Structure 1
Amino acid sequence: MNLVFAGSVITATAPVLFAALGGLLCAAAGVFNIALEGQLLCGAFTAVVVGHETGSAWLGVLAAVVATVLFAALLSVPAVSLGTEPIVVAVGTNLLALGLTSFLMRRILGLGGTYSSPDLRGLPDLPYTSQSALVPVAFLLTAAVAFWLRRTRSGLRLRALGGEPEAARSLGLKVTGYRHAAVLTAGALCGLGGAQLSLGNVTLFSEGMSAGRGWVAVVAVMLAGTSPYRLLGACLLFGVAEALGFRLQGAGLPQQAADAAPYLITLAVLVVARVISTRRRKERTV
């Protein structure tokens, strides 16, 4: 694997990893969050709009985080406070994000499809690399979340209430508060992922540019459980598949096939890995 390909893998991994970390925190808290796709799209759109209006990529990132936290509240309030089925609410917010960003794109930016401009500033690259400053943040947060979940009192409490909420309530833990915090933190992480996608991986916004990355993040969470390092491995797999897809397109593979390749490869390998893991677990119990 040469350095250029490795750099492409890391770049492709970062947005998915941000979203997947948010999904993992929700899973640890006992909330199955499939709204990651719409939240990534919300973050990507907000980052470009605010970056376009202010001329500052970092203000775009900040706005993406704030806007996506507010957008995540559309899931948090009904699912956590009102007891609504989170999957139904999440599907609704995903559809809302797709339609709302397309509508606002025409109202604010004056066109549909794809917006790019030489005046739109992307995130600065780290010295001697082609990676934006947000990319290492995703990997550092993975280590931080792993440490927090397993080595701190609040992290252990989050995992406990996700597995046994009634027992956690009997011990006086505020289950609702922890779950709200997890869902809103996931929104903030998706905001970072969306900003990286639209101002780091590229410097533009196109309708539906999350392009299934949020769903890949959901699958990664389902396979990784509450292990951030297994989650990282699953997301890196997607990064390898996406970078390989670009290479195949350069080698003459039709664009549609190249675009689909990362998702097909990632999902196939993840399913195989899950089957192997399940068989090993059954063998240990026999």
Structure 2
Amino acid sequence: MNIVEWSLLAGVLTATAPVLLAALGGLICQVAGVFNIALEGQLLWGAFTAVVVSDLTGSAWAGVLGAITATLLFAGLLSVASVSLRADPIVVAVGLNLLALGLTAFLMRQIFGVGGTYSSPDLAGLPTLAELGLDLPVVGPQSPLVPVALALVAAAAWWLGRTRSGLRVRAVGQHREAAEAVGLRVGGYQHGATLVAGGLCGLAGAQLALGNVTLFSEGMSAGRGWIAVVAVMLSGVRPGRLLLACLLFGVAEAIGFRLQGVGLPQQAADAAPYVITLVALVLAAVAGRKRRGNEGEAL
């Protein structure tokens, strides 16, 4: 069995898409001066609501819309608490992550009458690009949300670097006092960034639950939101670097699945993406320390 082949690219893109969408939301928050570590809970909430709405309506697209709307509202809790009430965003985000984990497990039993995993033949998953008439054999049977995720990264790079509103968001995050002095509504931009991040996490959850698979499992975000936070930290709030960081996770996960087929224990394969992400974070920290040391010597 060949580990590296064209179908591996399809696996990489499938694994990358949910993390990339959530990380893009985290990057927009970071640019606006809001450190958002609630991505894990928001992604999980998006996956759950996508499955609930898809199951009730029989439409995967209704599930996607429901996930975006519900997660946007869920993100409103972080927005109000951290921006309006000036609560510690890290404490609020940790609370929201725990709330999402417990609430989805509770509602799963109330709505579906099961615990652990819910899957049904009647649950509508997202169609593939081929089913929509777009034959892209190199990237395999992808959900339409995969190219949407890639397009959104390019759009975010253009928006943040080329538009007046994007530059204002950057100004709010970099120099809050200066932004306030020239009359920018700092709170409004930060509310907007937090809500946009919620919508993107809802989209990520829909891709995870209706695109990668067609089911909901308790805690199925499985640390992807935390990896998205790490990707934001590695990116230096640059969308291009964010994409590369998320692709690193996707490559590790896809190769891990392949290695299971040649005898690698499942636990080792499951751990591979998180180990590689941790190693990348450590190497980035070491490189940053070295760079600061060189700059200090130059001065």
Superposition TM-score, scaled by structure 2 size: 0.93
**Of 40, 43, 46, which residue of structure 1 is paired with 2:43?**
40
The residue identity in structure 2 corresponding to 1:74 is L
Aligned residues: 286
Corresponding position of 2:25:
22
**Of 78, 82, 88, which residue of structure 2 is paired with 1:79?**
82
Query: Which deviates more, 7-16 or 112-121?
Result: 112-121
Corresponding position of 2:164:
153
Offset, 1:199: 0.3
In structure 1, stretches of 5+ residues that fail to align are: none
In structure 2, stretches of 5+ residues that fail to align are: none
Corresponding position of 2:153:
142
Offset, 1:275: 2.2
Change (3 A) 1:275 1:208: same
Instruction: Report the secondary structure of 1:88's partner residue.
Output: helix
**Of 233, 238, 244, which residue of structure 2 is paired with 1:222?**
233
Instruction: Report the secondary structure of 1:110's partner residue.
Output: coil
Separation in 2, partners of 1:263, 1:247: 16
Contact 1:234 1:270 in 2 (8 A): no
Identity over aligned pairs, percent: 70
**Of 197, 201, 206, which residue of structure 2 is paired with 1:195?**
206
Corresponding position of 1:103:
106
Deviation sequence 1:237-272 (CA, Å, 0-9, x none): 000011111112222222222211111112212321
Separation in 1, partners of 2:292, 2:48: 42
Corresponding position of 1:120:
123
Corresponding position of 1:165:
176
Separation in 1, partners of 2:282, 2:143: 31
Separation in 2, partners of 1:281, 1:200: 42
The residue identity in structure 2 corresponding to 1:51 is S
Superposition TM-score, scaled by structure 1 size: 0.97
Contact 1:68 1:191 in 2 (8 A): yes
Offset, 1:64: 0.1
Does residue 66 of the first structure (1) align with residue 77 of the second (2)?
A: no
**Of 78, 82, 94, which residue of structure 1 is paired with 2:97?**
94
The residue identity in structure 2 corresponding to 1:40 is L
Deviation sequence 1:59-81 (CA, Å, 0-9, x none): 00000000000000110001000
Deviation sequence 1:171-228 (CA, Å, 0-9, x none): 0000000000000000000000000000000011000000000000001111112100
Separation in 2, partners of 1:67, 1:159: 27
Instruction: Report the secondary structure of 1:32's partner residue.
Output: coil
Query: Which deviates more, 125-134 or 75-84?
Result: 125-134
Query: Which deviates more, 46-55 or 274-283?
Result: 274-283
Corresponding position of 1:255:
266
Offset, 1:103: 0.3
